[in-house]
Structure 1
Amino acid sequence: MPKSLPGLCLHGLARAAFALLGLATLAPAAQARIELGAPAAEAEVTIGCMYPMSGRAAIYGKDSVAGIKLALADLKAGTLGPKPPKLRIIVEDDRSKAAYAVRIAEDFVRQDKAKFFCGMVSSGVAQAVSEVARTQKVIMVGTDHASSRLTMDALHRYYFRVSNDSWTSNAAGARYLAELQKETGWKRMAFIGPDYDYGHASWTDLRESLQLLGVAYDNVGEFWPKLYEPDYSAYISAIVETKPDIVVTALWGGDFVAFLRQAATTSFFESSRLANFDTGGNYEVMLALGSNPPPGLILSARHHNNWPETEGNRAFVTGFHASEGRYPTYAAAGAYSGIMAIASAVTASAPRHDVEAMVDALETLRLKLPKDPDGFTSYIDKSTHQIVQPMAIGKVVPNAAFPPAKVMLADWRVYAAEDLIPPPELVRRRRAVMGGKP
């Protein structure tokens, strides 16, 4: 049986680790609502967005607002045509709390007459708001959270996602691990992820993807710290004791950086390689790694500043930098994509902007986005309402082109978008378990 270390609450050295991100260690105060785009009297539709604008995940909310502003600027410049839709966008701080987000969502519908919800970083928050969207028949466009349960197990007509979900990232990761096993013969694998829906969904997705590929391995341990755990020392010691060749993690943001910093002070990296296929390649991680990163890291993310090297991605990254004076995390690309997708659906449903017509438009959406390599255009998979895009996984190398970061990812292995769509039989099985409908 693999070892398991659930839910330890330890305190100590890691409380200062988040300063290494270049972010304030003190949580900023809750933010008042932000209104962007058209005023209420002129708007064709209202979009209610929820992001963490305070606390340890606040950078994702800040970058998402910047991404929304870039999308509005591109729409005004004629990206989707000479007459862009008039969108009223309201952003509220969901405080990463599901019950609080549900109240915000209900107010968006009752007071603001919103036809769309967008955003959300926490998959737990997103699941709660998704139920409001289902019952109220409000279209929800996920831009950051990633649990595959929302697109596979519990999908409903009004939910869509425009950034990688945990299935997409781990399907690519499984392919990387299969190739690496042929090259190195690795056999022993451990997993560590946050003890909530996203972490557990990621582990399920990775195991199912490896099984589909016929990859044999020894599962030597599963470890489940709480979200925002300040001290990973007990988990790191337990992982080292299992002697894994590969450790895969679904820790994200400051949690992942804290884990890296603490693991680097031990023997962790002497015999194990660490992989994070969904969030580990985020710019905030590159910034935190400094000029002397741990060896052997295998990372990817939902958007990269230096991949693909296309005109569209360069325009997005340089536009963000010109506006904000820094380089974006993947949250910015997700929010940008969400607003562009909503704008496309609103345009397609003119002049009535009927919700059902906008759902139909999103189900057939094809949209060129910053993440798309030349020759590829993102599209929605109708069976899961998940955006379909290629995935690139890389290694950390010196690169000072995106200061103040001193490293970026390179040596890319790119996996075709169509190979990352979950098999229909798997989707049907998971929905049957949850009582959902294909």
Structure 2
Amino acid sequence: MASLKRICSLCLLLFLTGMHASAFAQEKVVKIGALYPMSGRAGIYGMDSVAAAEMAIEEINAKGGAAGYKLQLINTDDKSKPDYAVTVAKRYISDDKVNFLFGVVSSAVGLALTEVSKQEKKIFIGTDHAATELTAQNLQPYYFRVANNTFQSMAAGALYLKELAQTKPWKTIAYIGPDYAYGHAQIEELKFNLDRFGVKYQMVGEFWPKLFEADYTSYITSIMQAKPDIVVSGFWGGDTVAFIKQAAPYGLFEKSLYFHPDAGGNYELLSAMGDSLPLGLVLSARHHNNWPDTAMNKDYVAKFHKKTGRYPTYSAEGAYVGVYAIAEAVKKVGNPNDSDALVKALEGMKFQEPEDPEGFVSYIDPASHQMVQVQAIGVTMPNTDYPPATRMLGNWKIYKAEDLLPPKEWIEKKK
């Protein structure tokens, strides 16, 4: 009898264990294969992006997920190296069976991964990199970008310079930016938009340091010799911090207006430089902690600070929004494996973002797969509300989203 009881108990245990294993195996999961730099000058962008993506996933999963699926993030340090990132992406698809490729800070990495996305018919949600090629001449059906591109920033920049010329006349521009796709795109697109908006100017120099340059001294002295009214910068990340720190002792910012309309106003710069950050620099970024002054933006910034103990850099919001875009597409389609249906769901998708001012809702342009957004450009001024920064942007100029999109003739010419 005792032996029979032991046999029955064993059978019950095996039955229950089998039920648990079966339930676990049947749990529905949307796998997101992210690639972000987690070290070096770009590392803060990767860390913030992963934290914000996890924050969005926690919020979505707490509400039941998307169409019954829980979201799961897998991240690998892409080391800002295109070849390595391609290897990881292919492993994600073949071994990890991810439903989406996601992330990327470097435009060079983004351009490499969009080819993998195209070949494998796997949707790639770009959350940070800004080279316009990805949504113009290199656009393919499975790529979507949920942050603004360089064309939008340069269009806003050209409009700002047009307005500036009415109050503080200027004539000459010098440009300095990284010698790769992202840097070259910015000056080309700024020139196009200045011409498009009828702004007269003279280029007095273009300077092309390599990415992650250690010493900008020779470039700084050359710019000062050229004596431009406006210094347009195309740096991002730690390169922006390094350049401004090295240029300030030379008095560059007293002699020329420093204008950085794409990634210059990132919180990384504001927090890293404190009181040493010059006042009066004209900057923008893809998200601002203190603009717009909306409940949604305040809530997003506060939640990120509570989760990480720091205020977010601009890259974080792109990752946060990207996760929500995936969740909304899966909810609409009901199947994270149907890439073609998900593409249709993403095209034209509208949803409120932390960076949207009152009265505007961001949306994905169906033709370019580019997020359409308002852009704000501000000026550095004293502000201690977001420590350790003691400078934030203010005196905002706001530019309408539709005014910043590339005209059709420009896109057709690029193709």
TM over 0.5: yes
Structure 1 distance, partners of 2:299, 2:41, is: 29
The match for 1:117 among 75, 96, 101 is 101
Which of 281, 293, 310 in structure 2 is aligned with 1:309?
A: 293
Matched letter for residue 64 of structure 1: S
Against the structure 1 CA distance between its residues 101 and 242, is the aligned structure 2 distance closer, same or farther, given a 3 Å change threshold? same
1:428 is displaced (CA, Å) by: 0.9
- Contact 1:48–1:90 (Cα < 8 Å) also in 2: yes
Q: Please tell me whether the aligned partners of residues 43 and 88 of structure 1 are also in contact (alpha carbons under 8 angstroms).
A: no
**Given the alignment, which residue of 368, 374, 391 partners 2:352?**
368
* 2:237 aligned residue: 253
**What is the correspondence of 1:374-389 to structure 2 with a 5 Å cutoff?**
374-389=358-373
Distance 2:80 2:277 in 1: 30
Q: TM-score under structure 1 normalisation?
A: 0.87
Structure-to-structure mapping, 1:190-201, within 5 angstroms:
190-201=174-185
5+ residue gaps in structure 2?
1-23
Larger helix share, 1 or 2: 2
Alignment partner, residue 408 of structure 1: 392
- What residue is the counterpart of 1:48 in the other structure? 33
Q: 1:318 to 1:352 in 2, by over 3 A?
A: closer
Q: Which runs of 4+ in 1 moved over 4 A?
A: 80-84
RMSD over aligned Cα atoms: 1.6
Separation (CA, whole Å) in 2 of partners of 1:84 and 1:371: 28
Q: Following superposition of structure 1 onto structure 2, how do residues 1-400 of structure 1 map, counting pairs within 5 Å?
A: 42-78=27-63, 85-351=69-335, 353-400=337-384
Letter in 1 for 2:41: R
359 and 236 in structure 1: CA distance in 2 versus 1, 3 angstrom threshold: same
What is the identity, as a one-letter code, of the residue corresponding to 1:175?
L
Distance in 2, matches of 1:290 and 1:45, equals 41
CA shift in 2, pair 1:55/1:382, >3 Å: same
Q: Write the distance in 2 (CA, Å) between the matches of 1:54 and 1:403.
A: 23
Q: Given that residues 279 and 300 in structure 1 are in contact (C-alpha distance below 8 angstroms), is that contact kept between their aligned partners in structure 2? A: yes
Matched position secondary structure for 2:250: coil
1:161 touches 1:386 (CA, 8 Å); kept in 2? yes
Give the AA of the match of 2:52: G
Q: Aligned equivalents of 1:209 and 1:81: distance in 2?
A: 42
The 3 A distance-change label for structure 1 pair 338 and 84 is farther
Distance in 2, Cα, partners of 1:112 & 1:411 = 48
Once the two structures are superposed, residues 147-176 of structure 1 have per-residue CA deviations (whole angstroms, 9 ceiling, x without a partner) of: 001111210111110011111111111110
- Count the aligned residue pairs: 392
Matched-pair contact (CA < 8 Å) for 1:76–1:84: no
Per-residue deviation at 1:45? Answer: 2.6
- Alpha-carbon distance between aligned partners in 2 of 1:394 and 1:261, rounded to the nearest angstrom: 20
Q: Cα distance, 1:84 vs. partner?
A: 6.0
> In 2 relative to 1, CA 301–402 (structure 1 residues): closer, same or farther, beyond 3 Å?
same
Give the superposition deviation at 1:87.
1.8
CA distance in 1, matches of 2:70, 2:398: 37
The normalised TM-score by structure 2 is 0.92
TM-superposed deviation, 1:85: 3.6
Does the CA-based 8 Å contact 1:346-1:353 persist in structure 2?
A: no
SS at match of 2:249: coil
| 2:280–2:381 Cα contact (<8 Å) kept | no
Offset, 1:409: 0.4
Which amino acid in 1 is paired with 2:356?
D
Aligned to 2:8: none
- Percent identity among equivalent residues? 51
Cα offset, 1:51, TM superposition: 0.1
Amino acid in structure 2 at the alignment position of 1:389: Q
Residue 77 of structure 1: how far off its partner (Å)? 4.7
Q: Tell me: CA distance 1:374–1:245, structure 2 relative to 1, closer, same or farther (3 Å).
A: same
Give the 3-state SS of the residue equivalent to 1:179 in structure 2.
Answer: helix
Q: CA deviation at 1:70?
A: 1.4
Question: Which SS does the other structure have where 2:194 is aligned?
Answer: helix
Considering only CA atoms, is the larger Rg found in Structure 1 or Structure 2? 2
Deviations 1:289-313 (Å, cap 9, x if unpaired)? 3124324310000000000010110
